Amino acid sequence: MAGSVVDQTRLKLRYRNTMVIYISLLASVLAYALVVFVVTHSQPARPPAPQVGMSIYGAVLFLGLGIILGRRLFFSPSRLMRIVEEGGLNRLIDELANKTILLGALSEAIALLGLALSLISQSPEHMWRLGAIAMLLLLRNVPRRSTWKRTLDNFSRITYEG
């Protein structure tokens, strides 16, 4: 089981790097909210064109649903098993990290839409709403080391036994 030691070391490194990126995504959403607060603090609000607001909120709906469904799809056991069969445990670790970062980036895109809409309308309401949605999605998808380790252990047992 020498490969198991290498896999655990790789898991530790990729998890740490993924968490650094993920914390940066969380911090950037907070930074967007701060920017909106500072920029719109003394400005009178002007409502954006209804089509713009509806388009952005529609995009947020699709992005949010895509993130939720993407998590189910990306981390389904059958898909992960195919990845292990094709590329081994190291590929599984890379896939866990890459898809987690992808879902985080899509969540941050929602916050960016809130930033854009708030700057257009000079009203912080949109950033608060869309920033809250982005934060909830980011927090829902925070990678858990214990889950990654359990997944790796389960698939390493199958790999080494099979």
Residue 17 in any domain: the answer is yes
Residue 3 in any domain: the answer is no
Instruction: Decide: 115 and 40 in contact? Cβ < 8 Å.
Output: no
Side chain identity, residue 62: F
Domain of residue 90, residue span: 9-36+47-156
pTM over 0.95: no
Structure tokens at 76: 């389904």
Residue 2 in any domain: the answer is no
Per-residue pLDDT tens over the stretch 79-90: 999 999 998 889
Give Cβ neighbours of residue 128 (< 8 Å, ≥ 6 apart): 33, 114
Residue 29 in any domain: the answer is yes
Structure tokens at 127: 């950033």
- Residue 88: left if φ>0, alpha if ψ -120 to 50, beta else—which one? left
Residue 124 in any domain: the answer is yes
Please give the pLDDT value at position 71.
95
**pLDDT surpassing 80 at residue 162:** no
Per-residue pLDDT tens over the stretch 51-110: 888 899 999 999 999 999 999 999 999 999 999 999 888 999 999 999 999 999 999 999
- Number of folded domains that form the chain: 1
Measured distance CA(54)–CA(106) in Å, rounded = 19
